[in-house]
């Protein structure tokens, strides 16, 4: 059984030909993380058409503020419309580096935009509360050579992190700010 909001977001993304939404496996992981205790303020970096947001919002306790940032105004407008009946969902149109620091810190962060740029890792870590958890998806299992995402999140002493497979062809990192 999939949350109705997720089905609506997936249909919207399909209708607009957007192929970068999170997978259902990652969505279920987001859903689990959002449902767990202590999620009082939650954010996503990169809204797309709202699929990841829908998985998160469908599991948050009532009244939990959720912020999602999207650079592309067209996508931001579509996601705003999708969540228009939920006053706890805030779709912020603009660069997450400008919009989300004003709303931080967060207990849960889905880092899904511009995560390959090393300076952004530092900024994203700064958005997390101590004990807060970040999820980064879309990693290639067994990738060789330089990988700024793994190099930062799996090595930094300020986080406890693990890489896991979400599907045979996709890996993700879960990282907690110490």
Ligand X SMILES: C[S@@+](CC[C@H](N)C(=O)[O-])C[C@H]1O[C@@H](n2cnc3c(N)ncnc32)[C@H](O)[C@@H]1O
Q: Which residues bind ligand X (CB under 6 A)?
A: 20-22, 44, 46-48, 51-52, 69-72, 75, 95-97, 112-114
The residues pairing with 68 across neighbouring beta strands, listed in sequence order, are 44, 91
137 contacts 170 by C-beta, under 8 angstroms: yes
Minimum Å distance from CB 96 to ligand X? Answer: 4
Name the burial class of residue 105, with classes exposed (0-12), middle (13-18) and buried (19+) by CB atoms within 10 angstroms of its CB.
middle
Please, what is the minimum distance in Å from the beta carbon of residue 161 to ligand X?
20
CA pair distance 44, 83, nearest whole angstrom: 14
Least distance CB 157 / ligand X (angstroms): 26
Q: Between residues 143 and 178, which has the closer beta carbon with respect to ligand X?
A: 143
Nearest to ligand X of 71, 128 (CB atom): 71
Cβ-based nearer residue to ligand X, 113 or 144 = 113
From residue 70, give the alpha-carbon distance in Å to each of 48, 117, 143.
7, 17, 28
Q: If DSSP states are collapsed to H, E and C, what string results for 1-51?
A: CCCHHHHHHHHHHHHCCCCCCCCHHHHHHHHHHHHCCCCCCEEEECCCCCH
CB of 89 vs ligand X, minimal distance in Å: 14
The nearer residue to ligand X, 30 or 159, going by C-beta atoms, is 30
- Which CB, 48 or 144, lies closer to ligand X? 48
Helices (H), ranges, 89-138? 96-99, 118-127
Closest approach of ligand X to the CB of residue 178, in Å:
25
């Amino acid at each position: 059984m999939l949350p109705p909001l997720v089905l609506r977001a997936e249909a919207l993304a399909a209708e607009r030909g957007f192929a970068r939404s999170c997978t259902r496996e990652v969505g279920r992981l987001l859903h689990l993380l959002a449902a767990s205790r202590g999620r009082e303020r939650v954010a996503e970096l990169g809204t797309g058409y709202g699929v990841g947001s829908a998985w998160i919002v469908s599991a948050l306790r009532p009244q939990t503020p959720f912020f999602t940032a999207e650079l592309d105004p067209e996508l931001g407008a579509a996601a705003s419309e999708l969540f228009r009946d939920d006053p706890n969902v805030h779709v912020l149109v603009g660069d997450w580096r400008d919009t989300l620091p004003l709303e931080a810190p967060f207990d849960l962060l889905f880092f899904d935009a511009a995560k390959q740029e090393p300076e952004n890792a530092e900024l994203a870590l700064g958005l997390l509360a101590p004990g807060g958890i970040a999820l980064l998806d879309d990693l290639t299992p067994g990738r060789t050579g330089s990988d700024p995402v793994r190099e930062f999140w799996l090595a930094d002493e300020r986080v406890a992190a693990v890489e896991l497979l979400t599907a045979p062809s996709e890996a993700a990192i879960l990282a907690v700010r110490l």
